[in-house]
Amino acid sequence: MKKITSGVLIIVLSSSLAVANAQQKKSDTVRTQDIEGVVVTALGIKREKKSLGYATQEVKGDAVNKNPTTNFLNNLSGKVAGLEIKQSTNFGGSINVVTRGYKSLLGDNQALFVVDGVPILNKNINTANQATGGGGYDYGSSVADINPNDIETLNVLKGAAATALYGSRAQNGAIIITTKRGKKNKEGIGMEFSSSITMSTIDRSTFPKYQTQYGQGYTGNSFSSALYQGSPRVVFGNDASYGSAYDGSMVWQYGAFIPGSPTEGQRTPWQMAKNGPIKFFNTGTNYVNTLSFSGGDDKSTYRLSYANTDATDIMPNSSLIKNNFSGNASYKLTDKLTANFYANFVTQKTIGRNSTGYNDNIMTNFRQWWPTNVDIYDLRNLYMGSYKNYTWNMKGVTDLTPAFWDNPYFQRYQNYQNDSRDRFAGNFSLNYDVNKDINLLFRMGRDGYTMTTEERKAVGSYIGNDFGLNGTVDQPSGYATSQYKFSETNYDFIGTYKKNITDDFNINALLGGNINVQKVYSNQQSTSGGLYIPGIYTIANSASSPVRPLISDISKYVYGAFAQISLGYKNTYYLEGTYRRDQSTALPENDAVYWYPSLSASVVFSNLINAKWLNFGKIRAAYAEVGSDTQADQLLNRYFSQPSYGDIPVYAYNTTLRNFELRSQSLKNIEFGIETRMFKNRLGFDVAWFRNKAFDQILPLPVSFANGAIAKTQNAGELTTKGFEVSINATPIKTSNFSWDLNLNWSNPWTKVTALSPGIENITIGRSQGGVSINAPLNGDYGSIWTSDYVRDSNGQPIVGANGAYLVTDTPTYNQGSFQAKWTAGLSNTVTYKNLSLSFLIDWKKGGKVYSLDQFYGYGTGVYPDSVGINDLGNPIRNTLANGGGVILPGVMQDPNNPGSYIPNTIRLDRSQSSQVLGTDLPGAAYVYDASFIKLREVSITYRFDKDFFNSKFIQGMSVSLIGNNLWIMHKNLPYSDPEAGLSSGNIQGYQSGPMPATRNISFNVKVNF
């Protein structure tokens, strides 16, 4: 079925100069004009920051391109108050970008990106199974295609008043990126070359530390009940380390039964492996080379650039190669008419992304189910010598197929995935000055890309993991491929009027319209029943009839009209209002139109106060409303193709009912702020308070099964977010040769669920393995993590049962807190002496919760150090109770002499076997951790050579930098993992299952200007 919707978005850099000039009066003082400067705001219009009644924060291009990375968003961490950047440890993974908390219960909360007038698509094609931790790949954020070396400035528009003219597309905030432009150059063509290399190694604090005393097994015994040729033989199917203690005795292990193994037919010592899983990883590399040319004359300017990224991950058999071509040009056709052109083409090819979540994930194996007697180099040699899936986890002496886990090298070299993305973004505009007061602009812009993914499951793989589209039966092998096409086209017409009515009073007015067209196409296919011929990965090689393709082709149109008027009086008092009308084809015809206004004001009070210490001061206030539609295909019910039953086609009715009575969603925002610069601009701060109310949300709500569905899409629910933002800039020391600059960003947005539909007490954002769910409970905190909990007495003490284990609640519906941080902060320091500069950034997150499935299963499998040790009796805790082992858990037990009363616990818990065998697992609450961290995010040393150093007209300057990124996690509470690591971008945060370890990254960079 084809569905049409629409969105309106307009960004105009080419007409911005006229508007900016209208706001610059001859009477502007250095005190206000130069201190605050000009920033790019909504619609790409340049505005004097002093006139704005809402919060924005600008980041210079050097701050985001200094550190080479496969995704420039990583370089924004800690640099903007109110902007949450959650970095990914996945290779080429997606980055969560949220401004001022959450505005949608189940929809998109990601900020909008705009590059030189083009709204950039930032789609996430990750599956629902991947997002909830079931398994799959994180295919990354498409906004990573932006070349950071092309960025001149980046301005974050945080509130609804700042983004009101964008309409619904920017209700989550907007990040306005202005790229470098060509300039008039009398000396010919300007050229800039940059080259960098980055080396990445594992941060060991984010990787498991294994106990070293016991080997493979579950029951305290590693060996089969029957001897093999007179000696003990390990039970290979056990994927835990709760077996026999290491004693160096000669036993039969997996290598003795694998053809070609160096230990084939031989017994080996029962001991801890010399080479643990951490040696599985390589040193990651990232080579980035960029080259640009620019120039211009009185009539035209141009800039062309090329960037090449060649990266490998710490996982074997991984690579990411990206080529980025971009160019912009401006030509003055007449004195009044100027043409502007921008184009960007990006091609990216990736091989070997890491698996995520629980199923088919090497990291799940390493973190949850690893026998410490297995040597990772042995597994490497077994695979490299045979290219077969010879694993430690084979079913038996004569059956070498995997019981649960593949050889990790087989998985990386045979079951790898690959993907490619080709992208083109561009715009063309004509800018006409009717007279000195009126400007007209027409522009057409488009961004679109095609992405193809391929996933493989080789013959001989573990059969139990889900694969492909036919999830009703096990797939012994297979091939799956998907193609996605995304595009967005904008047609803009904007008229601006600017006039200095008097020497004290000026007016800027804007009237415009936009047609926004969004199209999404996907085609997913897979084999069924395995591969007919091993090693041939095509749909035609399906052992059984392939599953019918899942094809979707939908589109959305939004027609928008908008107006803005800005008034300025005596360069001190400013008032601005906007109004916008949208009409979306994603909504029913009778409710397709929605209107929304904004109003903001500011007063530059430093013009009213005669204080020498005060260089600039402004108070501001803003109110805005934003309407928004929904994604396409939410109005009419339909049938979906399912795997066939033999030769009989099968179709299923949608389990979530569509609704032809939907109406637009709404958001109301209010904010107040104050900005100052003092003591000759050596100290400044910007403080803001804001509140968002997002209501009438469009989301699926549970309905009676009598409707033939489990949910229905409806308007319901309200999210309320409140918080403060603080930015402080200081220069404690400044001399002719030396300076010390300090910047602090701090914010504490907090989102609560303040309304749901009558009778609905909770919306489940996602359910994951381990009995964990992420929720939006009525009158509770958004992102609440629910698990099972301890049964407690009236004093809150955990109750211990007769077996010495804690009693666990019957249902996993106990709130353990939200994944939202209480506050985040970034502190940067830059010390400069002549041409040498040293800078560092500390990134701080306080609060928030995260659940670790790794710790949940690792407790039962005995892989971690807390599963061993000496108890209060002086004996190993893994001894049997009869031999003085076990532990006494803190808590209370029932008083045998006074039923209903509790006394301190004295019952000893058996730890001689896995808790999964004994049924003594801890509740889910035991594995919810404080997600706080303090990170030394960035350190850099840069030396700049000016052109006099080279005594050459050809070389205009050069800089060399040594940069460290993610060098040190100074504080964290989550053991053996990075609390920032997750599955994907999106609303399901605060859950970990087999995350990749974090890496420490060291880069060397050279930039030369010619």
Q: What is the pLDDT of residue 956?
A: 84
Judge whether 181 and 301 are in contact, CB under 8 Å: yes
pTM for the model: 0.93
Q: List the one residue out of 667, 678, 686, 695 whose CA is nearest residue 727.
A: 686
- Residue 104 and residue 109: Cα distance in Å, rounded? 6
Judge whether 428 and 443 are in contact, CB under 8 Å: yes
DSSP state of 895: -
Amino acid at 230: G
Compute the radius of gyration of the chain from its Cα atoms. Answer: 31
3-state secondary structure of 973: coil
3-state secondary structure of 925: helix
Task: Enumerate the β-bridge partners of residue 119.
Answer: 114
Query: Position of tokens 């009515």?
Result: 501
CA distances, 605 to each of 80, 109, 575, 609, 672 (Å): 25, 36, 14, 7, 15
- Residue 757 and residue 162: Cα distance in Å, rounded? 30
CA distances, 6 to each of 62, 490, 656, 1001 (Å): 36, 10, 23, 42
Judge whether 584 and 592 are in contact, CB under 8 Å: yes
H or E element at residue 170: none
Largest CA distance in the chain: 105
- Residue 206 and residue 972: Cα distance in Å, rounded? 10
Judge whether 161 and 624 are in contact, CB under 8 Å: yes
- 652 by Cβ neighbours in 10 Å (0-12 / 13-18 / 19+) ranks as exposed
Structure tokens at 102: 């959450």
Strand 738-747 and strand 656-657: the pairing is: unpaired
DSSP state of 374: -
H or E element at residue 23: helix 16-23
Q: In this structure, how many other beta carbons lie within 10 angstroms of the beta carbon of residue 437? A: 15
99's CB contacts (< 8 A; 6+ apart) are 82, 83, 84, 111, 156, 158, 172, 173
Q: Phi and psi dihedrals of 947, rounded to 5? A: -70, -25
The alpha carbon of 295 is separated from its chain's Cα centroid by a whole number of angstroms, namely: 37
- Residue 580 and residue 711: Cα distance in Å, rounded? 33
Judge whether 146 and 115 are in contact, CB under 8 Å: yes
H or E element at residue 300: strand 300-312
70's CB contacts (< 8 A; 6+ apart) are 92, 144, 286, 309, 311, 320, 322
- Residue 261 and residue 258: Cα distance in Å, rounded? 6
CA distances, 79 to each of 59, 64, 84 (Å): 8, 10, 10
Task: Enumerate the β-bridge partners of residue 673.
Answer: 620, 688
Q: What is the pLDDT of residue 3?
A: 36
- Give domain 16-198+287-294+301-354+415-458+467-517+536-787+817-850+934-1009's CATH superfamily: TonB-dependent receptor, beta-barrel domain (2.40.170.20)
Structure tokens at 449: 């890309």
Q: What is the pLDDT of residue 36?
A: 61
Structure tokens at 198: 């980055």
374's CB contacts (< 8 A; 6+ apart) are 216, 254, 273, 392
Query: Position of tokens 């492909």?
Result: 468
CA distances, 959 to each of 295, 718, 1008 (Å): 21, 51, 7
For the chain, how many helices (H) and strands (E)? 11, 53
Q: What is the mean pLDDT of each run of 10 residues along the chain (1010 residues)?
A: 33 30 37 59 75 90 85 90 93 94 93 86 91 94 91 91 83 90 81 95 97 97 95 96 97 96 96 97 97 92 96 97 95 94 96 96 97 98 96 96 97 97 94 94 94 97 92 90 96 94 94 95 95 97 92 94 95 95 94 94 94 94 93 88 75 88 93 95 95 94 82 93 97 94 97 94 95 97 98 97 97 97 96 95 97 97 97 97 97 94 97 97 98 97 88 86 96 97 94 97 93
CB-side neighbour CA atoms (13 Å) of 667: 32
Q: Phi and psi dihedrals of 757, rounded to 5? A: -65, 145
Q: List the one residue out of 886, 887, 878 whose CA is nearest residue 242.
A: 878
